[in-house]
Amino acid sequence: MRKYSIATLEGDGIGPEVAQATIRVLREACGDMLDFQMLEGGAGHYQKSGECLPEDSFTACRDADAILHGAAGIPGVVYPDGTEVGNDLHLRLRFRLDLYANVRPIKLLPGVTSPLRGFEGGGIDYVIIRENTEGLYASRGAGVLLRGEMASDTLVVTRKGTERVAEFAFNLARQRNGALRDGKRRVTVCDKANILRTYAFFRQVCDEVHARHPDVEIDYAYADAITVHMVKRPDFYDVIVAENMFGDIISDLGAATAGGMGISPSGEIGDHHALFQGAHGSAPDIAGQDAASPMATVLSGVMMLRWLAQRHGDARLGEAADRIEKASETVLGRGIAVPRDLGGDARCSEVATALCRALA
């Protein structure tokens, strides 16, 4: 029976707690199918060694079947230029492993209260695909600050980068069941094509990719307008694809409508590698208190299992993912162990224990 190597970076703050809770759940669901390799990295490691991501940790991540990350970042731990060390951990992995598709599922689970009262009871279920290596963030570390008087960054949109993330979005839409409102498989292109040539080009390339997927509907929304639509009619959306910065912004808005960052999973996926982590930060104010919610990391683990199952044709992993998702719905829906950020009082370890019992 094949075993899969999982490069595991616990990171900083609540990272070790949510990572260990997730490992417990994954082991309960998968038995000995997963081999977790514990690696060094993050702001804390930088304080000790001067390295955010040691080369041996990077090599292990590159050679593993998948990467699981807890969280990274410590307030005040910055590079000489003032940028945060914690963010650099997964950014280095993102760019060196070419993880070009940031996948952010926005799904309202049973038992979770949404601020959108009209959509409680399962009325939100779509995915945002954020281009992960270009856009405005391509200027990171390369912008211009001139004499303390002028600063500039460059928005980068390439044909290759847009084409491959659009292809990813259309392929994902073909695997889903369509939007909750009308059942149509649909990709919404989020841009500002009415203002900037870069976004007009982004839309043009998405149109060209759409021509290869006539069974999927295409839709367009300007970045400002979509923030209204995601609140007023979230059930209209199936898959949304966006440039890096716009995708970053709207994915956090989407998470808020489905219960918050503490229940929001994410995957950073390329052609050969993938990293999975909760969309939240390291929350150093509650670190070491067993107070964090592990749900975002657990659900990221579900994404990891499904990615591995598809990549390797291993149905066992897909079945384990389905079981964990069902257990999550049971634990939250029945109020068995509701974490604090969702209005309950369950500790991180208690949520993990409840999930393992539901699985057993």
Residue positions annotated with a catalytic role: 137, 192, 224, 248, 252
Quick one: how far is CA 76 from the chain centroid? 25
Q: β-strands 150-152, 186-191: how paired? A: unpaired
Q: What is the C-alpha separation between 189 and 261, in angstroms, rounded?
A: 23
Cα–Cα–Cα angle for 51, 96, 60, rounded to 5 degrees:
65
Which pair of tokens denotes residue 72? 């990274």
In sequence order, which ranges of the chain are alpha helices (DSSP H)?
15-30, 43-49, 55-63, 85-96, 159-175, 197-210, 223-232, 244-257, 295-312, 315-333, 348-359
Which pair of tokens denotes residue 64? 């593993």
Q: β-strands 265-269, 101-107: how paired? A: antiparallel
Q: What is the C-alpha separation between 279 and 286, in angstroms, rounded?
A: 17
Buried b (16+ CB within 10 A) or exposed e, 239-270: bbbbbbbbbbbbbbebbbbbbbbbbbbbbbbb
Quick one: how far is CA 47 from the chain centroid? 27
Which residues, at least 6 apart from 86, have a Cβ–Cβ distance to it below 8 Å? 11, 12, 42, 43, 52, 72, 73, 74, 77, 282
160 to 77, 166, 201, 241, 294: CA distances (angstroms): 35, 10, 12, 15, 36
